[in-house]
Structure 1
Amino acid sequence: MKIVLFTHPAFVGSQSMPRYAKMLADGMQQKGYEVLTWKPEPFFYKLPFSPIKKWLGYIDQYLVFPLKVKSRLKKCSKDTIFVFADQALGPWVPLVKTKPHIIHCHDFLALNSALGNVPENPTSGTGKIYQDFIRKGFSKGKHFISISKKTQDDLHELHEGSITSSVVCYNGLNREFKVLDAHSSRNSLDNFLNIDLSAGYVLHVGGNQFYKNRIGVIEIYDAWRATTDVVLPLLLVGAKPVDKLKVAYEKSLYKKDIHFVTGLEDQYINAAYSGATCLLFPSLDEGFGWPIAEAMACGCPVITTNRAPMKEILGSADFFLVERRPFEWVLAEEWSAKASNQITRIVNLSDAERQECITTGLESIKKFDTDLFLNQLEKQYQNILK
């Protein structure tokens, strides 16, 4: 079996998708398969026309690259399977629709937004056209792998053709996480960040995507601090805050205890999870929800949203669930007050109760094993070739 892996071009600036594609390529190569990576290269994109750079990139992706693919296809042997690392690469699917192929699906947030199903994320007219272009492309595909049952359900609802095979293969954790001593982890992070974390802290890990609900994190934290004498800092680990998030921060009565941590190195990420009192992760939606699995692997209790795929990732470790933040801002105060009770519950856990949470979480993450994930992919790829 030979594998041609379609991936996003480097110039689109994605971070998670190249890592995912690399995991696929490295994993299949370690199993002894020849893997070729096909992706557009910048030509028009490199021209010095900054205002229309995105559109020049589209020329490279959807006019120039397909011509190169058609030429390369003539040299491919019959034992080749064409793998798309992301369903957003849908416009290229018709190029190989009559050949063995499979499409990895992550989330359909952008498409659902374009269809008006996500009021928090309105889409422009051109954005709606682009998402329809992607949808029509992946709808020509017949074989799919989804990273969660939620993603698979969305696929079946949004696919406009017929699907021959569709399976769920949970992602494997893409680096090692383990339970570290909480006090040692806090001391390590304390010294690195120069913040007093000795009593613990509330942790959030994520970017500025609308669905990460970082403003909601601050709202819940503020509501909790208003009802307790316990003082624990809030660490928001991830991207630099955008303007709307800065506004929420400036309005907080507890902003001196809210810290944005950017560029945290991998060696400290494990310590951040292990030393945290809890992970506060009230996402509006996800394709998977990596921080949930990572936190459980580090022995950190998780507060997250009572809906798929967050509950799916938690498995039996769903002790501390909150409702999805309402779109209507007038209801947000009631929501945050109710959600903040989960922080109080975790703070008041006995040692035995906390250990039970940790043990259950460690059991739940066993399904997120990289070797298991790659073995499932290999089997599915081989079945399609047959």
Structure 2
Amino acid sequence: MKIIFFAHPVFINHQSMPRFARMLAEGMKARNHEVEIWSPNEYFHKYPSKENLKKWMGYIDQYLLFPLEVRRKKRRLGEKVLFVFTDHALGPWVKLVEDNPHVVHCHDFLAQRSAKNEIAEHKTSWTGKQYQALIRNGYSKGKNFISVSEKTRKDLGSFLKERPVRSEVVYNGLNRSFAPKEPNRAGRIVSEKTGIPLENGYILHVGGNQWYKNRIGIIQIYNAWRILKGQEVPLLLIGQSPSEELKKIYGASPFRKDIHFIENASDEVVKNAYAGAKVFLFPSLAEGFGWPIAEAMASGCPVITTNEAPMTEVGAEAAFYINKKPCTEPEVEAWASEAAEVLNTVINLEQKEREFWIERGIINAQRFDQKKSLDRIERIYADILKNCKSA
């Protein structure tokens, strides 16, 4: 097959989406397909300007100049070409190839749902709503879709006006090698790399500052657990530098000396952090898939996550579950206390029971194999190209 992948421009500094696009492109190239990646070049965005204006300059590159480049490039292509959008947020470009064989990968519809006032925890500005409408009007022209979870496919269906030709679910495959290690040795490596004393073990979270990651809720659960149980086990939060709001919650914690933010962690630190943790705490409010759940399980770490899809899809019967954090402040304290009890249960599992949950997690994580995911995606791509009338 000849496959053209549409990807986010480098200059907007996405992290997960470029990795996903590279995984697809490299996976298809390794299967002997002819591959190209098309994304906007930086022309206007590179000029010095205030951050808000810089964003609009980037829109000129993405939505005015790039379509002209796509139309020019299309003229040199043969007929048997499949166009792949690596993210439905690239929707405004779908109209450029809507009459050609194409497929749109869908990750999560949180921004779309927020723009429709469907998420109480997050509000979208007027301009943000217009931008999400532009994206929605774009991907709605698509005919074939691949979603990362049943939850994402369900959300997609609620936004499409017509039933698509094809709407499949292919779970993400782990794109880095995660495997169990001897916990004490893994913990020592993390301690050596970070300078944090971890001889009593630690509680782990991996994630960014996005509202749905609920990093504030993690500290609230940790505070409740320390008050209720009194065990001095550190909390490690691997990811971005804490937001101002998170810094306030951290600063007010009586246990802040045991709360550690680790930024720019290497793959070595992340992998060992998973393998050495007593428990992985992931109380997300929402996700498209929930990569870290599978990563932690594959590393032999018990997982606590939210009892909501798609976290339940990924965790299945191998995770411990807590309720979703409530929106109203008076209920948060009770929620944190209930979650703290679950946290305490997992931390204090007897060895045999801990081994049982670790083994269950490892087996569950095997569902998310990158090779199997790419094999399935390849079959879908080939089927779309074969059956598309314009091909």
TM-score between the two structures when normalised by the length of structure 1: 0.98
Identity fraction in percent: 48
2 CA distance for matches of 1:13 and 1:189?
27
Bigger shift: residues 79-88 or 227-236: 227-236
CA contact (8 A) 2:3 2:36 kept: yes
Moved more, 284-293 or 63-72: 63-72
Mapped pair 1:141 → 2:110: no
> Letter of the aligned partner of 2:291 in structure 1?
W
2:4 and 2:36 in contact (8 A); partners too = yes
| C-alpha deviation, 1:47, in angstroms | 2.6
- Is the CA contact (8 Å cut-off) linking 2:21 and 2:86 kept in structure 1? yes
Q: Contact 1:136 / 1:160 at 8 angstroms: preserved in 2? A: no
Q: Which runs of 5+ in 2 are unaligned?
A: 387-391
State the AA in 2 paired with 1:209.
Q
Q: Residue 168 of structure 1 corresponds to which residue in structure 2?
A: 169
Q: Distance in 2 between matches of 1:119 and 1:307?
A: 16
Superposed displacement of residue 22, structure 1? 0.5
**Is 1:115 the counterpart of 2:116 in the alignment?**
yes
Distance 2:200 2:49 in 1: 53
State the 1:77 CA deviation.
1.2
Q: What pairs up with 1:96-115 in 2 under 5 angstroms?
A: 96-115=97-116
Q: Which residue is equivalent to 1:259?
A: 260
Question: Over residues 226-279 of structure 1, what are the superposed CA-to-partner deviations in whole Å (9 max), with x where a residue is unaligned?
Answer: 011321000111111010000000111111111111111111111101110100
User: Where does residue 241 of structure 2 map in the other structure?
Assistant: 240
Q: CA deviation at 1:334?
A: 0.6
User: Offset of 1:52 from its aligned partner?
Assistant: 1.3
The CA distance in 2 between the partners of 1:215 and 1:46, in whole Å, is 35
Question: Secondary structure in 1 aligned to 2:175?
Answer: coil
Q: How far does residue 66 in structure 1 lie from its aligned partner after superposition? A: 0.8
Which residue of structure 1 aligns with residue 326 of structure 2?
326
| Cα contact 1:113–1:123 (8 A) shared by 2 | yes
Q: What is the DSSP-based 3-state SS (H/G/I as helix, E as strand, rest coil) of the residue aligned with 2:28?
A: helix
Q: Which moved more, 1:206-215 or 1:266-275?
A: 266-275
The alignment partner of 2:163 has SS state of coil
Question: In the aligned structure 2, how far is the partner of 1:280 from the partner of 1:19?
Answer: 24
The amino acid of 2:357's aligned partner reads C
1:266-281 to structure 2, matched below 5 A, reads: 266-281=267-282
Residue 196 of structure 1 aligns with an amino acid whose one-letter code is P
Equivalent position SS for 1:226: helix
Structure 2 Cα separation of the partners of residues 49 and 304 of structure 1: 41
Is 1:351 matched up with 2:351?
yes
| C-alpha RMSD of the superposition | 0.9
Moved more, 157-166 or 7-16: 157-166
Which whole-Å deviations, capped at 9, do the CAs of 1:170-218 have from their partners, x for residues lacking one? 1111110110001111111122222221121111110000000000000
Question: CA shift at 1:40, angstroms?
Answer: 0.7
8 Å CA contact 2:298–2:366 kept in 1: the answer is: no
Counterpart AA for 2:104: I
Given that 2:280 and 2:301 are in contact with CA atoms closer than 8 Å, whether structure 1 keeps it comes out as yes
**Alpha-carbon deviation of 1:367?**
1.3
What is aligned with 2:192? 191
Residues 307-341 of structure 1: per-residue CA shift (max 9 Å, x gap): 101010012203x1111101111111010001111
> 1 CA distance for matches of 2:94 and 2:193?
47
Counterpart in 1 of 2:35? 35
Q: Distance in 2 between matches of 1:206 and 1:5?
A: 27
Amino acid at match of 1:179: P
Whether the 8 Å contact between 2:157 and 2:163 is mirrored in structure 1 is no
Confirm or deny: 8 A CA contact 1:84 1:104 kept in the other structure.
Answer: yes
Contact 1:90-1:138 at 8 Å conserved across structures: yes
Secondary structure in 2 matching 1:44: coil
Letter in 2 for 1:333: E
Residue 45 (structure 2) aligns with: 45
Corresponding residue number in structure 1 for 2:389: none
Aligned-pair CA distance for 1:137: 0.4
Q: Unmatched 5+ residue regions in structure 1?
A: none
Distance 1:64 1:315, change over 3 A: same
Q: 2: distance between equivalents of 1:49 and 1:224? A: 46
d(CA) in 2 for partners of 1:369, 1:47: 42
Alignment of 1:7-86 (within 5 A): 7-50=7-50, 51-86=52-87
Q: C-alpha distance in 2, partners of 1:146/1:221?
A: 34
Larger deviation: 17-26 or 38-47?
A: 38-47
**Contact 2:108–2:287 (Cα < 8 Å) also in 1:** yes
Q: Look up the match of 2:6.
A: 6
Runs of 4+ aligned structure 1 residues displaced above 3 Å come to none
Which deviations, in whole Å up to 9, do the C-alpha atoms of 1:131-190 show, x marking residues without a partner?
000001000001000011111111111122330101111111111011000111111112
Q: Deviations over 1:116-145 (max 9, x none)?
A: 111221111000000000001000001000
> Whole-Å Cα distance in 1 between the matches of residues 30 and 185 of structure 2?
36
Contact 1:140–1:161 (CA<8 Å) still a contact in 2?
Answer: no
SS at match of 2:204: strand
How big is the shift at 1:343?
1.1
3-state DSSP class of the match of 1:78?
coil
Equivalents in 1 of 2:163, 2:229: separation in Å? 55
Q: 2:255 matched to 1:249?
A: no
| Separation in 1, partners of 2:248, 2:285 | 20
Partner amino acid, structure 1, of 2:307 = N
